[in-house]
Amino acid sequence: MATIHNSAGADYAFLEGGRAFSSGVVALPGFEIVRVRFARPLPIAEGFDAIAAHLRERHRPLTALCAAELRSPEPVGLAGFGDFNAGWVEVLESWGLFRNGRNPVARSNVCPVHDAPAQPVFHAFSYTVPVGAAQTGLLTTSDHAADAPGPRSFVIAGYAEWEQAAAFPEGIVAYRDTSRAGLARKAAFVLDGLQRNTAALGGDWSMVTAVQVYTAHEIGALVAGQFVPRDLARLGIDWHVCRPPIEGLEFEIDVRCVRRELVID
């Protein structure tokens, strides 16, 4: 079972994932998460520069970065995905984000079917800001108690229809099946995983403020059976006509509970 760790700045906690990204983040008491979308996507290097400038303007350290949303030209194989991740990790390490060799930053990285970028770009990012009197110290059980004050803001990383411990590609749920039934199996698996990760972080699923679905396939037939029972249809489902970043995957979702969102140039 994945474990929870405090970030380097002790302003958010993260659910351990892989070296490339964490499975999700949750603000610690005294902080909240703000999401920022770029009005125009920026190439990765320029995006990092813009994020650093935005954090400086808000008097926040680089370690306040907690989540990223990327767009890539097209899906790649596992080896190609690993090559991209190597450069990504190098920057995050240089920013001082890694703690004990663990990557705290949650991430979604998907490939638009239409108007795909020529190179990987930043679509959006999230970071922490103080709220009231910050409580410092190590993460404890009480930090995630059910009666903790106020809804805790969180971002759950993109989750696709493959458990990374499973064989690839044979372990992909409903592999090569994009029928209505196959997509329903994929959606159920992905949503179950997102709910588990939300609960593991101490987040309140009923407080989700946005759900983003990434697939090239029509999702209308899935709403009643998959999204309504999980109380997500009330939000309006944000469908991005995108493919997951690894060849063979067809369905990815991320969710968040963020009360403050910005759009910047």
Which H or E run contains 66? strand 65-71
- Residues 109, 69: Cα–Cα separation, whole Å: 6
Instruction: Measure CA 170 to chain center.
Output: 25
Q: Model confidence over 196-227: pLDDT tens digits?
A: 999 999 999 999 999 999 999 999 999 999 99
- Residues 150, 189: Cα–Cα separation, whole Å: 29
| Residue-level pLDDT at 165 | 83
- Residues 260, 154: Cα–Cα separation, whole Å: 12
- Residue 137: band (very low, low, confident or very high) from pLDDT cuts 50, 70, 90: very low
CB 100 within 8 A of CB 57: no
> Which architecture does CATH list for 4-136+152-157+258-264?
2-Layer Sandwich (3.30)
DSSP one-letter code for 101? T
- Residues 205, 149: Cα–Cα separation, whole Å: 16
Reply yes or no on whether the pLDDT at 156 is more than 60.
yes
| Residue-level pLDDT at 151 | 78
158-255: same fold as 4-136+152-157+258-264?
yes
CB 18 within 8 A of CB 104: no
Q: What region does 137 belong to: left with phi over 0, alpha with psi -120 to 50, or beta? A: left
> Which architecture does CATH list for 158-255?
2-Layer Sandwich (3.30)
Per-residue tokens: 250 = 């067809």
User: What are the helix (H) ranges across the chain?
Assistant: 44-57, 78-94, 180-200
Strand pairing partners for 13? 6, 26
- Residues 144, 203: Cα–Cα separation, whole Å: 8
Mean pLDDT in residue range 6-30: 96
Q: Model confidence over 33-53: pLDDT tens digits?
A: 999 999 999 999 999 999 999
CB 171 within 8 A of CB 52: no
Q: pTM (2 decimals)?
A: 0.92
Site of tokens 């909240």 = 32
- Residues 110, 243: Cα–Cα separation, whole Å: 6
Q: Model confidence over 65-85: pLDDT tens digits?
A: 999 999 999 999 988 888 999
- Residues 263, 265: Cα–Cα separation, whole Å: 7
Reply yes or no on whether the pLDDT at 138 is more than 60.
no
- Residue 1: band (very low, low, confident or very high) from pLDDT cuts 50, 70, 90: low
Q: What are the sequence ranges of the domains in the chain?
A: 4-136+152-157+258-264, 158-255
